[in-house]
Each structure stands twice: as C-alpha cells, then as structure tokens.
Amino acid sequence: MHDFKINSVGFDDPAVQLLVAENLRDLSERYGGTGDDTPIAASDFAPPNGDFLVAVDGDELIASAGWRRHGDDAELKRMFTTKAARGRGVARRMLTAIEESAAAAGCKRVILETGDRQPEAIALYESAGYVRIEDFGYYKGHPDVLSYAKPL
C-alpha cells in the first residue's frame, strides 16, 4: 500500500471537482437523481469558516472531505473515497483530519447527514464515536437521511 498525504485545497480546483463528480455519481447510483442537491459554494470551505481536504496517493486524488461552519458546529460534506482506495483506512484518516481542522477553528462538534444506503459510512461514523441526532439541513425530514454528531 502506498502512503498518502492529506492536503487542504480549494473546493473549486478542477481536479477536486472531478473527484466531487465521482462522489455524486456514487450517490446517484445508490439513491437515484443527482445524488445530492444540497446547495454548496466553494466559499463554504474557505478558512476560517471551513476547510476542504483531499487524500493524495502519488499524483492521484483518492478521497475528499470538507467542513463548513454551521453555527458552533462544523458540518461534514463531500466525504468520499474512490472505489480503488477503499478498505485502506483512508476514510478514517480523512475523518480525523476533518475533526482536527474543525477543532482548530473553534468548532464544538462535527455534524453530518448520511443516507441509509451507505452502510460503510454509517459503520465508520458510529465506530468513530458519532451518535444520531435530530435531522437538520437540506435533507431534514427526508426518510432516507440519518444525522450524526460528535463533540470535539
């Protein structure tokens, strides 16, 4: 296994947008539609009110995750690992890096929405100490959504 680096990048970087498009295709395969219609702007992830991270193996982007400020919370968005990189612990390291970035910016907890057709994501979040909370945000009240939080 190659070691990989985690870098903070601009959400609007063209290589990042290719990875985000792959993420949305994955969600679309699971749920139909466009995958995720949540309004997102590159500025959402601009420090100090957010951050966008990618995992890089050689010159290949293999994972992404971002957070944006939601009051005192950091909302996790666009957490994704490419199919070829799954099972290597990449997502867990990305989640830890997001938590560290959000804590450094003064956020009190990380909150997130995931879906009931993403069992690997649910298992990751629960094993990392996330607990179910009342739904919030764009998909609040949607039958497939599961919302989680973890104090920092």
Model confidence at 68: pLDDT above 70: yes
Across 33-42, 117-126, 129-138, least confident range: 33-42
Model confidence at 92: pLDDT above 90: yes
Model confidence at 1: pLDDT above 50: no
At the topology level of CATH, where does 5-151 sit?
Answer: Aminopeptidase (3.40.630)
Token pair in block for residue 3 = 């070691």
Q: What is the mean pLDDT of residues 59-70?
A: 95
pTM comes to 0.91
- Of residues 57 and 117, more confidence is placed in 57
Q: What is the mean pLDDT of the chain?
A: 91
pLDDT for 2 equals: 59
Q: What is the mean pLDDT of residues 81-101?
A: 96
